[in-house]
Structure 1
Amino acid sequence: MAWDLPVKERWFCSWCYAWTELGHDPREVSRPQYQPMYGRWERAESPNLPEDVAHAYDTAYAYTASGGTLCGIEHESLTVSPYWWAPDRSNACGACKETAAVIDQRWPLEMRGGNRVTPTPPPGSRWPPF
C-alpha cells in the first residue's frame, strides 16, 4: 500500500538501513519497526536484469533519482516491484543475500521483536501508526 504523505525530511542509516521520516507537522515522526530479511526488501525489476535471478531492491535508493540493488547494480530503469524479495528462494541473488544478512546482523537485539518505543501520530495526522 502506497502512502501519499507529506514528508519534510527522510534519513536512512547507511549502516543498518533503519530510516526515520519527519512530516510537515513537527510532531509527526515515523520510525518503522525492525523487519527481518524475509520481509524487509522488495524485488528489483528492470528489463536489464536477468529474469532467472531475483535481486533485492535497495530501500535507500527508493527515495533518490536512481535505483539500485543490495548487490550494487544501479541504473535508471531499475524500479521496485510490488513483490517481496525472498532470500530463501533458489533464484535469489547470492550477493544480495550476503548484504542482507550483514545488514540484518547490525540491528541491535534489543531493538527487535517490537521492543522499540515509537511515537503516536498527533490527532488528525494522516501518518500511519508504526
Structure 2
Amino acid sequence: MECDVCGRAMWRWPALPTVWDEEICSWCHASTHVGGESFAVARPPYLPVEMRWEKAVADGLPLRVSHVFGIFDRTLCGVQQAGMSPSDYGWLPQRGTPVALAGKAAGVIDDRWPQAMRGEDARVSVARRL
C-alpha cells in the first residue's frame, strides 16, 4: 500500500486476518488500518510528537532509560529485541531519561508530515457500506 501522507511504500504489520491489517509507512510512520467487521480503511490523523509515540517495553531494556517504540521490534534509536512491544503508556521526552537519538528521530519523522496533512480531517478514512 502507498502512504497517503508522503507517497512512499508502507510496511505490513501482521495481524489476524479477520480483524485488522495495519500498514505503517517507513518514512513518516503514518499508519493505515484495513479490515474489521465492515471492512473499513481507517487512517488515524496526525498527532504531535508528545502524543504519537509509546514507550518501548522488552526484557533487557534498562528501566531508567525511556526508549520509544518504533516498528518491528525496534526502537526509534535502532535498538532491536525480539518480543519488544509498545507499552500502555505514551513516551514523554520530559519523563525519565530519554535516549537523545529517539528525540531527534521523533522530530525528524514529525517534520516529514506535510503541513497540509496535519489537520484533523486531512486523512480520509473509508467504511464499506453494507
Task: Tell me which interval the TM-score lies in, with the shorter structure as reference length.
Answer: 0.7 to 0.9
Residue 96 of structure 1 is matched in structure 2 by 102
Measured on the aligned residues, the alpha-carbon RMSD in Å equals 2.4
Residue 69 of structure 1 is matched in structure 2 by 75
Runs of 4+ in 1 over 3 A off after TM superposition: 24-27
Q: Which runs of 5+ in 2 are unaligned?
A: 1-15
Instruction: Kindly state the Cα deviation for residue 101 of structure 1 after the two structures are TM-superposed.
Output: 0.4
Report how many residues are paired. Answer: 114
Using a 3 Å threshold, how does the CA distance of structure 1 residues 123 and 113 change in structure 2: closer, same or farther?
Answer: same
TM-score by length of 1: 0.75
Instruction: Kindly state the Cα deviation for residue 121 of structure 1 after the two structures are TM-superposed.
Output: 2.9
Q: Which runs of 5+ in 1 are unaligned?
A: 62-66, 125-130
Indicate the structure with greater strand content: 2
Alignment partner of 1:21 is 2:27: no
Q: Which residue among 60, 65, 80 is the counterpart of 1:53?
A: 65
TM-score by length of 2: 0.75
CA distance in 1, matches of 2:23, 2:123: 18
Counterpart amino acid of residue 100 in structure 2: G
Instruction: Kindly state the Cα deviation for residue 123 of structure 1 after the two structures are TM-superposed.
Output: 5.6
CA distance in 2, matches of 1:39, 1:118: 20
Residue 31 of structure 1 is matched in structure 2 by 43
